[in-house]
Structure 1
Amino acid sequence: MTKLSAATLPRITTAALPAYDRASLTAGIVHFGVGNFHRAHQAVYLDDLFALGSSHDWALVGAGVRDADEAMRQKLKSQDWLTTVVEQEADSSSARITGAMIDYIKPGDSAAVIARLADPAIRIVSLTITEGGYYIDPASQKFDPNHPDIAFDAASMAEPRTAFGLILAGLIRRRNAGIQPFTVMSCDNIPGNGHVTQNAVVGLAKLVDPALAQWVRDNVAFPNGMVDRITPATSPREVALLSDNFGIDDNWPVFCESFKQWVLEDNFPAGRPALERVGVQFVSDVAPYEHMKIRILNGGHATIAYPAGLLDIHFVHEAMEHPLIAAFLAKVENDEIIPVVPPVPDTDLHDYFALCQRRFANPKIGDTVRRLALDGSNRQPKFIVPSAVDRVAAGQSVIGLALVSALWCRYCYGTSDSGAVIEPNDPSWNRLTRQARLAKDDPKAWLAMTDIYGDLGRSQSFVAAFGHALTTLWSVGTKATLERYLADRL
């Protein structure tokens, strides 16, 4: 067993090691949200690029704003910011040690974060703060300037608490010093993530000074991007697998699939690393790729998560082995989701969905149904509702998508079909559970959450399909409801 650290790297023979001198790296990117996805995605692309001898002035510095970020920081600090990434497919597993991160600023130290953001060497600030971290109304996708966190930062720009407050404070200091602004790059699964991030920073700036807001809008780049790699949460299972199979003791390893994708708008006025050398696609318009991924892959995750949760299935690959769930996914995708996804350059959408099915079925990943079911109040409006809105507008059937929403509602009731308790799995769990219990007798109570459903909750066809689906779920259970849908009897 080898405890991971810079000093012990030469002793590790079971994993690929950084193929570059980490002492040659200098910081070029500050990243907010050093979680598993970031370390399996952006950090891996940079690690690959550094191994080519390129862009060594683009190393990562971590930053965070949550209490939990300090725990991550301590775990990574003790191993010199190194991370073990294990790529797993059905017939193979391989490990690598990545070294693209060279520092991590202590969460809560606003002065240190702002000082680093003001450093001219920092030319990109990136974020993976989850779909729910952007202070946006789920239905309208508009920035919420009235949120208490935002109001606090607007009045306390010397010591802001949010990522957007810190970013804005860094931009103010650069403007005052005559330093070119950094580019702000979201790496979260949000439609138009660059626009959403710009709206958050500009929206906060408006509360501070309208002239500042205009300066941000005129001078700061917010490229849109699409990111993809299935990356489960780390549990004791993953720590033990790494130890048993590779002899490495890592405080917080990352397990993921081998597939990864990153599509970016090439809008980096302050410069960027040469990521095209390691497979990043730079395009003029990310929207088609984004729509494809969010609706087909993320929408697919939402489609299988709730029936699997109601049937007490733990792992995603086990859900894909269940014939009813796999068939449900295929029917909803082929009948209702894929037909309203706009064309994507050089891509067959059905081939893309087939790839998603294979990825979901990967037995080595250990991705959990509970992770897919997490935070539905933020994910459903992005991954499911837009497809339903498009179909309603076109006068097309929404029976399958309405069933997906009904399954989510039934899940939020808080018990599975067997009567097992479903533990809270959403920041708004209490509200969702309350509405789900009202909806058992009055399905319209669920659709009354206009921040989630918007005008869709008033669509006669969707309301009727949802109500029938939810009533059927309560009457005959998940298994029989899926059988009826698959037989076109729902």
Structure 2
Amino acid sequence: METLNYKVLESTGYNGYILKDAPVKVMQFGEGNFLRAFVDYFFDIANEKAGYNGKVKLVQPIANFPQMADWINEQEGLYTLYLRGSEKGRKVDAKRVISCVHDCVCPYSEGKWDEVLALARSEDLEIVVSNTTEAGIAYTQGDSQFDQVPPNSFPAKLTRVLYERYTAFKGAADKGLVILSCELIDNNGKELQKCCNNYAKDWNLNAAFIDWMNSANTFCSTLVDRIVPGRIRDPKEMAALEEANGYTDKALDVGEVFGVWVIEGPDGLEDKLPFKKAGVNVMVVPDVTPYKKRKVRILNGAHTGFVLGAYLAGFDIVRDCMHNDTIRGFMNKMLHEEVIPTLPLDKKDLEEFASAVQDRFNNPFINHELMSISLNSTSKWKARNMPSFLTYIEEQKKLPKCLTMSLAAYIAFYSNDIQERTADGLICKRPAGNTYKIQDDAWALDFYYAHKDDTAAQLVKAVLTNTQMWDQDLTKIEGLEAAVLADLELIRTEGAEAAYKSCL
């Protein structure tokens, strides 16, 4: 079977939208599954719906996987994207051939960094996008040199790109770029800008350039939200798709249907970007913080809030939990009655986002294991659930039933019939009889192992007074110690599902 390219695609009779020729308007640091299923999808829709007429040049930020550049270039930038999931209870499996990608360059190959710098000098270039992992936005003094080919870190590469552009256009104020950082760290755009300034100073670049970098360019922090499994793992399913498509596709990608991109930027940026006109779920806001809270407390908080008890109740994957009235009802009550009232956004928007969570968790194409979600649950509960928990108590002057129960479920999960402390985990036994391995910070695992012979009351007191866990003594919250103890004993005697049901 032939490999996907424009000629092969045409021969298959594909009748979807395709843009073969257009100027490169976007430089994208990152060629992985996420950006291609998320950012490049939005640019592809913008080409079709908003007449953006722009291509994206992908730049590999690190040199560890040169095959991807080869695959993308062999396919002339084309790849098949499947967006799969559930919308309003209906199964969705949508296919689109993405044609916004021009090519992919590995700047570590001989002569290829020059290609990147040539694009920096292009009149057509408007936007830089990046997703170089959480570790990608980092400054290390002396790590890179101005004339290194290429500089080591992503911020150093970007600084060099911006200097090339500044020089080519003699510092013209209208030649700055919009820089959209998608890394999963707080204030990603601001942190990237700080790193670029540090490299500019290290390299003794002139003050006029530094001023241009900070005033003519727009560094945007963004929030990204789409689950992207990426490759299809089942060889039989992959073979069946390629047979149906009529071509081989080494860059095929898979993401969930849901996707939202929140970009923090100034007035006028929304009209400068092509997304609003295209009607896609991309918004420009003055402050991304409330939307990050929405995602962390509703989407991530839902996971951490119900999965530990659900695992003890005998469930293994998220989707099956959504088919159980008690677990689903517990999650929805926690979100709609205890979490949403604590958030500073439009309540209708929050309700719609929470309703979409149930659809996302019910995705028929993703087997999201509860044990994978359980990793590092101590810090996750603190970051995702505790802010809602404390705000609810402060505002409502009472304990939230479901969030209190989820704290008890966390304790139950970490203490259920502890068997041994291994080098990388804590082995516990599930009520059904099989063992499971808890993975968390060593100090947290040591704590639970040290308290394995405690009574329920002793354990609850020890957990709630552990300031390393919570940065405070939670027993000072009126009634909490007794409530968590009662919930823990209910989980241990009646089972987690019955305990969850008691909250409804």
- TM-score interval for Structure 1 and Structure 2 normalised by the shorter chain: 0.7 to 0.9
Structure 1 residues 336-375: aligned runs within 5 Å = 336-344=338-346, 347-367=348-368, 369=370, 372=373
Q: Which moved more, 1:28-37 or 1:116-125?
A: 116-125
The match for 1:161 among 152, 175, 189 is 152
User: Which amino acid is 2:219 matched to?
Assistant: F
Residue 252 of structure 1: how far off its partner (Å): 3.6
1:239 touches 1:250 (CA, 8 Å); kept in 2?
A: no
Q: Which moved more, 1:332-341 or 1:207-216?
A: 207-216
What SS class does the counterpart of residue 129 from structure 1 fall into? coil
C-alpha change, 1:16 and 1:222, in structure 2 (3 Å) is farther
Structure 1 residues 31-430: aligned runs within 5 Å = 31-52=28-49, 54-56=51-53, 58-88=54-84, 89=86, 90-106=90-106, 108-109=108-109, 111-112=113-114, 115-116=117-118, 118-120=120-122, 121-131=124-134, 133-135=136-138, 150-153=140-143, 158=148, 159-177=150-168, 178-179=170-171, 180-202=175-197, 205=200, 216-237=213-234, 239-240=238-239, 242-243=241-242, 246=245, 248-267=247-266, 272-279=272-279, 280-304=282-306, 306=308, 315-344=317-346, 347-367=348-368, 369=370, 372=373, 383-384=384-385, 386-388=387-389, 390=391, 397=399, 399-400=404-405, 402=407, 413=426, 417=430, 419=434
C-alpha change, 1:359 and 1:162, in structure 2 (3 Å) is same
Q: How many residues align?
A: 461
User: Which amino acid is 2:72 matched to?
Assistant: L
The match for 2:502 among 471, 487, 490 is 487
User: Which amino acid is 2:58 matched to?
Assistant: G
- Alpha-carbon distance in 1 for matches of 2:304, 2:369: 12
User: Which amino acid is 1:399 matched to?
Assistant: T
Q: Which moved more, 1:324-333 or 1:33-42?
A: 324-333
- Alpha-carbon distance in 2 for matches of 1:410, 1:12: 57
CA-based RMSD:
4.5
What SS class does the counterpart of residue 179 from structure 2 fall into? strand
| Residues 128-185 of structure 1, C-alpha deviations (whole Å, 9 max, x = no match) | 23455445xxxxxxxxx5xxxx245356773432222211222233334435332220
C-alpha change, 1:94 and 1:438, in structure 2 (3 Å) is same
User: Which amino acid is 1:288 matched to?
Assistant: P
Q: Which residue of 2 aligns with 1:139?
A: none
C-alpha change, 1:188 and 1:152, in structure 2 (3 Å) is same
What SS class does the counterpart of residue 413 from structure 1 fall into? strand
1:16 touches 1:97 (CA, 8 Å); kept in 2?
A: no
Q: Which moved more, 1:46-55 or 1:369-378?
A: 369-378
C-alpha change, 1:336 and 1:288, in structure 2 (3 Å) is same
Q: Which moved more, 1:120-129 or 1:476-485?
A: 476-485
Residue 351 of structure 1: how far off its partner (Å): 3.2
User: Which amino acid is 1:458 matched to?
Assistant: Q
- Alpha-carbon distance in 1 for matches of 2:199, 2:379: 21
- Alpha-carbon distance in 1 for matches of 2:412, 2:134: 21
- Alpha-carbon distance in 2 for matches of 1:284, 1:370: 37
- Alpha-carbon distance in 2 for matches of 1:161, 1:478: 56
C-alpha change, 1:203 and 1:327, in structure 2 (3 Å) is farther
User: Which amino acid is 1:260 matched to?
Assistant: G
| Residues 457-488 of structure 1, C-alpha deviations (whole Å, 9 max, x = no match) | 32435999799979987996799346435525
| Residues 44-96 of structure 1, C-alpha deviations (whole Å, 9 max, x = no match) | 1211222247222x311112334554343333333222221113344442311
Gaps of 5+ in 2: 417-424, 452-458
Give me the TM-score of the superposition, normalised by structure 1.
0.75
User: Which amino acid is 1:460 matched to?
Assistant: L
Residue 361 of structure 1: how far off its partner (Å): 1.0
User: Which amino acid is 1:153 matched to?
Assistant: D
Q: Which residue of 2 aligns with 1:30?
A: 27
User: Which amino acid is 2:44 matched to?
Assistant: D
Residue 28 of structure 1: how far off its partner (Å): 1.5
2:2 touches 2:247 (CA, 8 Å); kept in 1?
A: yes
What SS class does the counterpart of residue 231 from structure 1 fall into? coil
| Residues 89-115 of structure 1, C-alpha deviations (whole Å, 9 max, x = no match) | 444423111111111111535834751
Q: Which moved more, 1:440-449 or 1:152-161?
A: 440-449
Q: Which residue of 2 aligns with 1:426?
A: none
- Alpha-carbon distance in 1 for matches of 2:5, 2:333: 48
Gaps of 5+ in 1: 136-144, 424-428
Residue 224 of structure 1: how far off its partner (Å): 3.4
- Alpha-carbon distance in 1 for matches of 2:247, 2:465: 49
- Alpha-carbon distance in 1 for matches of 2:15, 2:409: 42
Q: Which residue of 1 aligns with 2:449?
A: 440
Residue 126 of structure 1: how far off its partner (Å): 0.9
